[in-house]
Amino acid sequence: MPARFKDLALDARDHQALADWWCTAIGYARREDPGGQRPAEWPVPIHDPAGLGPLIWINPVPEEKAVKNRMHLDVWGVPEEFEALGARLLRRRGDDIDWHVMADPEGNEFCVFEEKR
């Protein structure tokens, strides 16, 4: 049997703050631990309250991000709204690409696709 997709994982130096940032940015919420309080040093699971998106684990790591991500998130949204939350625009949509390349507050790249109206 082939493997099946489970979750996404994103590394962060300040995993608590980055979990909150992504919750605000994409409308996710922290998934509460049914067994009680999750220790602050543990990874933080965030989820789509509507149940449409994948579970994302924000994992604590000691090192700063150093090179381009080999895997990243693609999201629907408005680049200016992400910038207002603290993201950086790395590359604007243009003739050669149909999306904006951005970085979250810790430098993790993600692509923003604007919905056609």
**What average pLDDT is seen over the chain?**
94
**Pairwise CA distance, residues 69 & 20, whole Å:** 21
Q: Which CATH class is domain 1-62?
A: alpha beta
Closest CA to 100 of 85, 81, 117: 81
Tell me: pLDDT of 38 over 90.
no
Helix (H) or strand (E) holding 19: helix 15-26
The pLDDT of 79-103, averaged and rounded, is: 96
Band of residue 115 on the pLDDT scale cut at 50, 70, 90: confident
Q: Architecture of domain 69-117 in CATH?
A: Roll (3.10)
**Which residue did the predictor score with more confidence, 83 or 1?**
83
Give ranges for CATH 3.30.720.120 in the chain.
1-62
Residue 99: which pLDDT band, with cuts at 50, 70 and 90? very high
pTM of structure: 0.91
What pLDDT score was predicted for residue 116?
Answer: 76
pLDDT recorded at residue 117: 64
Tell me if 109 sits within 8 A of 90, measured CB to CB. Answer: yes
Instruction: Report whether pLDDT(107) > 80.
Output: yes
Res 37: pLDDT: 83
What pLDDT score does 22 carry?
A: 98
Where in the chain is CATH 3.10.180.10? 69-117
